[in-house]
């Protein structure tokens, strides 16, 4: 039987790509395909659901199909590239590296190399799918001849459980809570969120706070710059919550009065539609894929001056009837999103690929597999004899 496996660099807990990967696996298995998830790394809570990417070498077959989730280049990507299996690409976008120059040098380099590596797949894959029209156009501009959109249809089930109030209980009071959910990283423009909130807090509502829910581990330099900005402005009542569980996330959505987004680069932005689903009015900067994700709902804007955004925030927060109208529009957008036939679209693309003529075999360096074997041996030494590994030239 033909197997359809997924391969990606890392499977994260609670993130958009992770939810999509697990959703795709459910669809494929329900359709009768053998389907495993091969990764370099995974969150410890998801490790039992995955296999090591090096096991792909034993699972490979020229009639199989690999669905390769590309967000950054990786060893898993390069191994999958060299195998004889058919391949389709699912592209989640790569943030332009200039956002991380001077903030996170390693990530800037990874984004630069990832975008360059992506172009090598133009002749390797049978189909390249963006998870939004914005991402599909990006693939087209990079030279992919066969492109399509595999729509993101978020699974909101993780938001339907009981909230865990361990972190959020202190914010469940009469104050106004402005919420953002996402990594504390430069392209999300958390610095703009701080400026906008400070203007709102100072001019309109001193009994308000900004809740920034998202991981910042690894981005400490950017986090330090945000603390410095808040200190320079004299901004108060700003809370960096960090990474949370699904149950804790539900609690933060439950206490939120407004969802505010400043991100300048998004391939889709799932937290916006999560806020739609949780009936929180959304005010968001309308850049890249964000307007399409909002689908005519919420309050998109383009004037980023702090006073203008503060006025928008106050207009929404101070008018209950306006909030109701915004939420009604957002729920209609959620219904349109949920009405998209993700299962049918995915399986249609699979049938299209499997019934098409095969492309040419992947072209890799003559010594690729000897290097792969050498890397395997080195990894064994690193794990079992770390002192010997450090002594190697």
DSSP letters along 149-167, please?
Answer: E------GGGGSS----TT
Is 170 in the same domain as 262?
Answer: yes
* Confidence at residue 135, expressed as pLDDT on a 0 to 100 scale: 94
CATH number (domain holding residue 88): 3.40.50.2000
* Statement to judge: residues 177 and 92 lie in one domain: no
In this predicted structure, what is the pLDDT of residue 362? 83
DSSP bridge partners of 178: 210, 258
- Could you give the 3-state DSSP secondary structure of residue 38? strand
CB atoms within 10 A of CB 92: 19
> Does 369 fall in a domain?
no
E strand or H helix at 130: strand 127-130
Do the Cβ atoms of 68 and 8 come closer than 8 Å? Answer: yes
Q: Give residues with Cβ within 8 angstroms of 201, minimum separation 6.
A: 208, 210, 235, 236, 237
The C-alpha atoms of residue 100 and residue 109 are separated, in whole angstroms, by: 9
Question: Helix crossing, 190-203 with 220-233: angle to 10°?
Answer: 20
| CA separation for the pair 29, 52 (Å, rounded) | 19
Q: Take residue 17 and report the two structure tokens written for it.
A: 């790509």
Angle between helices 320-338 and 270-277 (to 10 degrees): 120
Q: Domain for residue 261, yes or no?
A: yes
Q: Is residue 329 part of a domain?
A: yes
Whether residues 30 and 173 share a domain: the answer is no
Q: Is residue 212 situated within a structural domain?
A: yes
Place of tokens 């999958």: 80
Contacts of 235 (CB under 8 A, 6+ apart): 194, 197, 198, 201, 229
Looking at residue 377, its pLDDT comes to: 85
Shared domain check, 42 and 185: no
Identify the burial level of 215 via C-beta atoms within 10 angstroms of its C-beta, where 0-12 means exposed, 13-18 middle and 19 or more buried.
Answer: middle
User: Facing residues of 4 across strands?
Assistant: 65
Q: What is the pLDDT of residue 366?
A: 82
Same-domain check for residues 125 and 189: no
Helix, coil or strand: residue 10: strand
Domain count, the chain: 2
Asked if 142 and 224 sit in the same domain, the reply is: no
The Cα–Cα gap between 54 and 201 comes to 52
* 152: Cα within 13 Å, side-chain hemisphere: 31
180: domain range?
A: 157-338
221 & 286 share domain: yes
Kindly give the parts of the chain with pLDDT less than 50: none
* pLDDT reported for residue 308: 98
Residue 387: inside a domain, yes or no?
A: no
Distance CA 25, CA 345 (A): 14
Rounded to whole angstroms, the Cα distance separating 176 from 205 reads 8
Please indicate, yes or no, if residue 92 is contained in any of the structural domains.
yes
Supply the pLDDT for residue 359: 73
176 and 142 inside one domain: no
**Do 170 and 304 lie in a common domain?**
yes
Do 128 and 245 lie in one domain? The reply is no
Q: Among candidates 132, 89, 85, which has minimal Cα distance to 114?
A: 89
Alpha helix ranges (H) inside 52-209? 56-59, 75-82, 105-118, 133-141, 190-203
* Among candidate residues 164, 317, 168, 315, the one with its CA nearest the CA of residue 255: 168
Q: Is residue 352 part of a domain?
A: yes
- The size of the chain, in residues, is 393
Nearest CA to 378 out of 362, 367, 368, 391 is that of 391
Is 254 in a helix, a strand, or coil?
helix
At residue 41, the 3 state secondary structure works out as: strand
Whether residue 203 is contained in a domain is answered as: yes
- 115, 197: one domain: no
Q: Are residues 200 and 345 in the same domain?
A: no
pLDDT at residue number 289: 94
Q: CA dihedral in degrees (23, 27, 33, 37; nearest 10)? A: 0
Q: Provide the pairing of β-strand 4-11 with 65-70.
A: parallel
């Amino acid at each position: 039987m033909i197997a359809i496996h997924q391969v990606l660099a890392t499977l994260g807990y609670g993130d958009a790509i992770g939810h999509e990967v697990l959703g795709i696996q459910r669809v494929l298995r329900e359709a009768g395909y053998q389907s495993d998830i091969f990764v370099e790394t995974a969150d410890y809570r998801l490790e039992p659901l995955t296999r090591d990417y090096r096991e792909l070498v034993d699972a490979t077959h020229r009639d199989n199909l690999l669905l390769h989730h590309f967000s950054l280049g990786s060893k898993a990507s390069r191994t999958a590239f060299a195998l004889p299996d058919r391949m389709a690409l699912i592209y989640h976008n790569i943030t332009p590296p200039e956002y991380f120059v001077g903030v996170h040098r390693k990530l800037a380099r990874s984004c630069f190399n990832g975008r360059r590596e992506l172009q090598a797949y133009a002749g390797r894959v049978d189909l390249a799918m963006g998870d939004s029209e914005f991402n599909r156009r990006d693939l087209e501009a990079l030279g992919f001849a066969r492109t399509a959109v595999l729509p993101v249809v978020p699974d909101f089930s993780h938001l339907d459980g009981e909230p865990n109030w361990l972190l959020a209980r202190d914010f469940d009071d009469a104050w106004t809570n402005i919420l953002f959910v996402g990594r504390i990283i430069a392209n999300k423009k958390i610095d703009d969120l701080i400026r906008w909130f400070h203007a709102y807090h100072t001019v309109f509502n001193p009994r308000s706070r900004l809740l920034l829910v998202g991981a910042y581990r690894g981005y400490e330099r950017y986090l330090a710059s945000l603390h410095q900005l808040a200190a320079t402005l004299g901004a108060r009542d700003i809370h960096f919550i960090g990474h949370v569980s699904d149950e804790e996330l539900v609690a933060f959505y439950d206490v939120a009065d407004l969802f505010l987004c400043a991100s300048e680069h998004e391939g889709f932005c799932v937290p916006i539609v999560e806020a739609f689903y949780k009936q929180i009015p959304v005010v968001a900067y309308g850049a890249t894929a964000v307007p399409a994700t909002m689908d005519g709902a919420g309050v998109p804007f383009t004037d980023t001056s702090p006073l203008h955004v503060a006025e928008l925030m106050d207009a929404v927060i101070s008018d209950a009837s306006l909030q109701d109208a915004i939420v009604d529009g957002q729920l209609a957008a959620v219904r349109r999103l949920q009405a998209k036939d993700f299962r049918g679209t995915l399986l249609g693309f699979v049938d299209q690929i499997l019934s098409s003529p095969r492309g040419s075999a992947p072209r890799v360096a003559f010594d690729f597999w000897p290097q792969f074997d050498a890397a395997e041996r080195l990894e064994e030494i690193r794990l079992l004899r770390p002192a010997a590994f450090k002594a190697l030239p």
